[in-house]
Structure 1
Amino acid sequence: MKIVWSSTFTGSRAWDALDIANFDGTSVRLHWTNQPYQWHINDGQEVFTVLQGCVEMFYRIAGEEKSVVLQVGDIFYASVGTEHVAHPRGEARILVIEKAGSV
């Protein structure tokens, strides 16, 4: 059993993570950040949930860049091959479920 107080988790650098669980090759991690990530494509599916703050998620479909603003409770699902990058607006805490070891 584990209880995580996500509102108090703060990393020492952008995108620091707290490992919550790993099952059947899938990781569940809490991230803290105040800086954008990098454009990337995961080698599996990704579920990205904003727990605190606001995040603008940029993604590309057929080479065309689009974005969506995610508020608390919003979920972004990146299917295999979805190129994307998260840009927090200030501090954000994000729950990410993805293949263990993904970028």
Structure 2
Amino acid sequence: MKVIRSRDFTADRPWGALDIANMNGVTTRLHWTDQPYRWHVNDGEEVFAVLDGRVEMRWRDGGQEQRAVLETGDVFHARVGTEHVAHPIGAARVLVVEREGTV
């Protein structure tokens, strides 16, 4: 049993993570960041939930770049093969659920 106060979590580097659970190869991790990630494509699906802060999510669909600002409580789902990148607006805490070993 764990109780995690996401607003209290910080990391020593952008996208530093706290491993919460590994359920049959699907990981749940809490990330802290104040810097963008990098454009990437996951080899599986990814669920990205903003727990604290704001994040501009960018993704490419049919060669066109799309953007949405995710507020606290918002969730982004990336299908297999969706190229995407997260740009926090200030500091943010994000819960990411994805297959173990994914970028």
TM-score range for the pair, normalised by the shorter chain length: over 0.9
**Structure 1 position 5, deviation (Å):** 1.1
TM-score by length of 2: 0.99
Residue in structure 2 matched with residue 60 of structure 1 by the alignment: 60
Within 5 A, what are the aligned runs for 1:1-103? 1-103=1-103
Query: For the residues of structure 1 that align with 2:54 and 2:98, how far apart are their CA atoms?
Result: 20
- Runs of 4+ displaced beyond 4 Å: none
TM-score scaled by structure 1?
0.99
* Structure 1: segments with no counterpart, 5+ residues: none
Partner Cα distance (1:97, 1:21) in 2: 9
Distance in 1 (alpha carbons) for counterparts of 2:10 and 2:56: 20
In the alignment, the residues of structure 1 paired with residue 98 and residue 86 of structure 2 have an alpha-carbon distance, to the nearest angstrom, of: 15
| % identity of equivalent residues | 60
Structure 2 alignment gaps of length 5 or more = none
CA RMSD, Structure 1 to Structure 2 (Å)? 0.4
2: distance between equivalents of 1:24 and 1:13? 28
Aligned counterparts of 2:65 and 2:97: Cα–Cα separation in 1: 24
Shift of 1:2: 1.0
Q: Deviations over 1:56-103 (max 9, x none)?
A: 000000111010000000000000000000000000000000001110
CA distance in 2, matches of 1:11, 1:41: 24
